[in-house]
Structure 1
Amino acid sequence: MKTVLIGVVATMLSVSAAMAADLYQPAPEPIQAAPVEAAPAEVAGGWYLRGDVGYAFTKLRGAHFYQGPGRYVRDFDRADLDDSWTVGGGVGYQINQHLRTDVTLDYLGKADFSGSTSGSCGVSTNCTSRDVSSLTAWSLMANAYVDIGTYGAFTPYVGAGIGGTQVRWDKLKNTSCSTSNPDDCDDSFDHDGKRKWRFTYALMAGTSIDLTCNLQADVGYRFRHVLGGDMFGYKANGGPGSDKGLYLHEARAGLRYNFNGCAETAYVPDYPVEQPVYK
């Protein structure tokens, strides 16, 4: 009987140990959430200021004037305008990643004019005149641009603009001399210069270059067509005169400062990692 009792106790102890082994499972390693990195917030748009300098290859499309008792119109035989420099500034708004617009005010520095006509004068029936003057101009333009895409630090773009240009002609000095004897000349006299606002349109292309997150260099080309208008007034049986408009081919460089150009760091709440609960 004692032997049987010992066997039963040993069997019960063995079964209990096996059941305990089945019930016990080691606790799993806690799962750690992957760290969330701060992501830059996309900038939808923002205001910017710009400043530009450039060199303008100018072309005067021609000039004409009234002459004689019959007041008939004559073209200048020659009408040339020297190249000049430009400087300007403006304010704009970046609407989205590909579209922006601005308003600019530009100044065209003094460009010298020289021209000539032929006909009779006081010293001969065959004379050639020498006409000299100069002009400056202010342009106020509204512009829109398409930023094609960003490739590293470079963003090529195309654009167009419309507005007005106030062309300011200085006095035109006229001297007529005998064609056969250039030293035999009439007295020189001046025509009053004219100034007038004229419709202007522009086409642009270039590249923006990121210097910092809110500062960009802008290198490009701009074509402007300034319509014709008054040039000088009447005097000594000649005038008034008008020019036929200007073509300006400009190589430009400048800077743009974007007030909302730097990406902001997105806020990520620092929540504690929730530990698993085991039951």
Structure 2
Amino acid sequence: MFNTARMALFAALFAGVAGPAFAADFVEPPVVEQAPPAPVYEQPAQYGGWYIRGDIGYRWSKFRGADYITYGDPPSTGSFDSGKLKSAFSAGAGVGYQINQYFRTDVTLDWMSKSKFRGSTSGFCGELQTPCTSVDTSSYSAMLLLANAYVDIGTWQGITPYVGAGIGGAWVKWDSLNNTDDDGSFEHRGGKGWRFAYAAMAGASYCLTDRVKLDVGYRFSHINGGRMFDYASLPNVGPGYDKGINVHEVRGGLRYQFGNSDCAPAPEPYVPEPEPVYTK
């Protein structure tokens, strides 16, 4: 009887101690291990699309000389002894396409305001045909149409240097040439017409907004020679042909990008949500 009671007591004590331990094993939560960080996928930058531009400039033109015909016995050819053109302004607009991050093209049309001309020629004046020197004044204006291509070298702190070149034509208009010497003052009607032209440029652009760039640069353009003035019965001289004009120009303007712009902020990187891994 005593042994049976003692065994029952031991069984009760064992159940009281082991029961909570087994229960704790059943309710303990599983261990959760964090998954390794997921890779970040950077979306590549996109460039390209149409843009428009507007520019203003200040130019210096270099007169490269001119020849003319003098009708006498016999006829002869003369040349200007000197000739200078004053500086003047220009303004233009264009439309272009950004092909990729480094290459773009556009077509531009620029109006070149009147640049005053002053030159001199040598001849003979009076009945005795004594040597004399004349003063010649005029001015020229032009419309310059160019197809251009540019290389954008790279972008640093929003600044993109570039180089470029263009080819096209110029419609040049000379005003009347006034020729004054010891025999008096004479007027030649100015010449006009289209001429071949080309250009080279360099500069840099700066992002003002995600669509608008400030463009500042230098452009050299060469306009081929052509008719400068027509024949005049007095002093029996003409026509005259200039040998071309070199134009040095400092320009500034704005470009508005319709397509994907390198000025726009980079897209947010895609980071997928990590998936937890549960151990059994």
Aligned position for 2:138: 133
Distance 1:46 1:249, change over 3 A: same
Identical-pair percentage: 47
State the alpha-carbon separation in 1 of the partners of residues 63 and 266 from structure 2.
Answer: 53
State the alpha-carbon separation in 1 of the partners of residues 255 and 11 from structure 2.
Answer: 94
1:193 matched to 2:196:
no
Aligned position for 1:242: 241
1:257 matched to 2:256:
yes
CA contact (8 A) 2:42 2:270 kept: no
TM-score (normalizing by structure 1): 0.84
State the alpha-carbon separation in 2 of the partners of residues 60 and 118 from structure 1.
Answer: 18
> After superposition, what is the alpha-carbon deviation per residue over 1:119-171, rounded to whole angstroms, capped at 9, x for unaligned?
21235421211111111000000111111111112111111111101110111
Distance 1:92 1:172, change over 3 A: same
Distance 1:54 1:272, change over 3 A: closer
Counterpart mapping for 1:1-279 below 5 A: 1-2=3-4, 3-4=6-7, 6-7=9-10, 21=24, 25-28=28-31, 42-69=45-72, 70-123=74-127, 124-177=129-182, 186-236=183-233, 237-260=236-259, 261=261, 263=264
State the alpha-carbon separation in 2 of the partners of residues 72 and 166 from structure 1.
Answer: 29
State the alpha-carbon separation in 1 of the partners of residues 155 and 274 from structure 2.
Answer: 39
Which moves more between the two structures, 53-62 or 269-278? 269-278
Distance 1:24 1:71, change over 3 A: farther
State the alpha-carbon separation in 1 of the partners of residues 123 and 271 from structure 2.
Answer: 90
Q: CA RMSD in A?
A: 3.3
Aligned length: 271
State the alpha-carbon separation in 2 of the partners of residues 170 and 232 from structure 1.
Answer: 8
Report the CA distance between 1:25 and its aligned residue: 3.8
State the alpha-carbon separation in 1 of the partners of residues 125 and 115 from structure 2.
Answer: 28
Distance 1:143 1:15, change over 3 A: same
State the alpha-carbon separation in 2 of the partners of residues 36 and 256 from structure 1.
Answer: 38
Which moves more between the two structures, 2-11 or 220-229? 2-11
State the alpha-carbon separation in 2 of the partners of residues 41 and 28 from structure 1.
Answer: 39
State the alpha-carbon separation in 1 of the partners of residues 202 and 273 from structure 2.
Answer: 52
TM-score (normalizing by structure 2): 0.83
State the alpha-carbon separation in 1 of the partners of residues 251 and 114 from structure 2.
Answer: 17
> After superposition, what is the alpha-carbon deviation per residue over 1:192-238, rounded to whole angstroms, capped at 9, x for unaligned?
11112111111111110111111111111000011111111111321
State the alpha-carbon separation in 2 of the partners of residues 275 and 37 from structure 1.
Answer: 18
State the alpha-carbon separation in 1 of the partners of residues 152 and 271 from structure 2.
Answer: 38
Aligned position for 1:182: none
Which moves more between the two structures, 56-65 or 39-48? 39-48
CA contact (8 A) 1:41 1:264 kept: no
Report the CA distance between 1:34 and its aligned residue: 8.1
